Amino acid sequence: MAQAARIWTRDAQQFIAPSSEGPIPVIMACDVADPTGTVLLVHGRNGAPHQPHIAEIAASYLARGWRVVAPELPHSAALPDSGPPDRVTFTGHCHAAAAAFAWATEHWPEPKHALAGHSIGAFAVAHLGADNDRLHHILAVSPALSGRALLTAREAMGPDAVAEVEREAPLFRAEMETEDAAPALARTRVPLAVVTGAEDGLVPLKHARAYFAAAGNARFFGAVPGEHHCPAGPACGAMLSAALDAVEA
């Protein structure tokens, strides 16, 4: 999978998307002259386009002729120039993803646009997909349904897991009490698929299933055996392919 990550980032072109909070670096790759459509691929907290689990998603779309557009969103520890990681929030992540998507759809105004997201990236695309019938589909990987669900999972892992997020991202921790993607998911009408790791502790299977159940047009749910919060590798690739078949991507 490391090789796939290198190929994805090596072949990607660099862009800058404007936003009210400042410029957002964006990378784009496409392997065909006439792409099927454009998918915005949104990483999670402390995520980045070059990480193996994001590259796995990108590779699945590139193999099907899609253009993949992946923003480097603010306040990620994996992106040293993105700003202080302790300033990350659910709302900020959603706003930055929305700005990147608005820019991408203007830059590539082709008939098909889709959304894919990992963890709180999936939380963000749930909000972007609400009431947007022009989308082709949504793909959510290890999806965060709500702040309360993430907090409950950390509480089950023990006090150190809760203390970690309080220390690393205090604003994010505060929003855990109120942020919820379920109302937005209920207003999504385009096909939606979920892929998750069967051993994920941060988004346990029951929470990933709740995300799926909340969606207005859920088509596919798949759990990759032996994988945790950042699934990657051949089994994950096969599950992603099945998910994309289900949403006719």
Tell me: the pLDDT tens digits for 1-38? 444 555 677 778 989 998 887 899 999 999 999 999 99
Average pLDDT, the chain: 95
Any domain includes 125: yes
Q: Which two tokens stand for residue 126?
A: 């749930």
Q: What is the mean pLDDT of residues 145-165?
A: 96
Any domain includes 91: yes
Any domain includes 18: yes
147-157 vs 205-214: helix axis angle to the nearest 10? 170
CATH number for the domain harbouring residue 27: 3.40.50.1820
Query: Can you tell me whether residue 147 is helix, strand or coil?
Result: helix
Q: How far apart are CA 169 and CA 85, in angstroms?
A: 7
* pLDDT higher than threshold 70 for residue 206: yes
User: What pTM does this model have?
Assistant: 0.96
Asked whether the beta carbons of 113 and 218 are under 8 A apart, the reply is no
Condensed to tens digits (0 to 9), the pLDDT of residues 92-102 reads 999 999 999 99
Within 10 angstroms of residue 21's Cβ, the number of other Cβ atoms is 12
Any domain includes 249: no
Q: 24 lies in which domain range?
A: 2-243
Question: Exposed, middle or buried: residue 122 (CB in 10 Å: 0-12, 13-18, 19+)?
Answer: buried
Q: How far apart are CA 116 and CA 219, in angstroms?
A: 15
Condensed to tens digits (0 to 9), the pLDDT of residues 210-238 reads 999 999 999 999 999 999 999 999 999 99
Any domain includes 248: no
Any domain includes 207: yes
| Tally of domains in the chain | 1
Q: How do beta strands 13-17 and 24-29 pair?
A: antiparallel
Condensed to tens digits (0 to 9), the pLDDT of residues 35-83 reads 999 999 999 999 999 999 999 999 999 999 999 999 999 999 999 999 9
Q: Which two tokens stand for residue 226?
A: 């032996």
